[in-house]
Amino acid sequence: MERISWDQYFMAQSHLLALRSTCTRLMVGATIVRDRRIIAGGYNGSVSGSVHCVDDGCYVIDGHCVRTVHAEANALLQCAKFGVPTDNADLYVTHYPCLQCCKQIIQSGIKTVYYAEDYHNHEYAIRLFKEAGVETKKVKLDYLAVDTNYQEKNKFVQELFVKLENSDVDKEEISALKDEAEKLFTQK
């Protein structure tokens, strides 16, 4: 078995962190790494002890949810809270950082930002990263994914099979398709 790369490993950690997000607009996770060791992680969510978007809806002003603290900021704040230096560390984040997070990342001394998905990549953030010497690298996770819609997809496929069985499609072909779907949807 071939092991995943370090970049994919840390990006997978960020995707797991994103599953803790309490914002319904976009689930984001961030992992701070130094010397191939995780030093902090964060996800976007409300201020500790406050109401969450998942409970009360997003609080949107000028197209942005202002209820949440961004994943990158939460990870950086975790380091600050516990006295963990971030100078020359790397950041793995599920989505390209917003402009405000970009500035915080630069100020914290992060040297490389790895991201999985483009997300409104602000042209000024791109310029600031470049001016500050912060590298940005896209990390593909094409064979490793956290599927938060697994049950809905499985239900949809099963409904398709019911429709196929009531059609003129060859029964052996349907059976072969069912076997393949079973392999794909059965957890090992």
Sheet order of strands, 112-117 included: 37-43, 29-34, 90-95, 112-117, 135-138
**Burial of residue 31, with CB atoms counted within 10 A of its CB: 0-12 exposed, 13-18 middle, 19 or more buried:** buried
- Active-site hit among 72, 117, 131, 180: 72
Q: Rounded to whole angstroms, how far apart are CA atoms 102 and 100?
A: 5
Report d(CA 99, CA 113) in Å as an integer.
13
171-185 vs 150-165: helix axis angle to the nearest 10? Answer: 170
Q: Is 180 an annotated catalytic residue?
A: no
User: What are the catalytic residues?
Assistant: 72
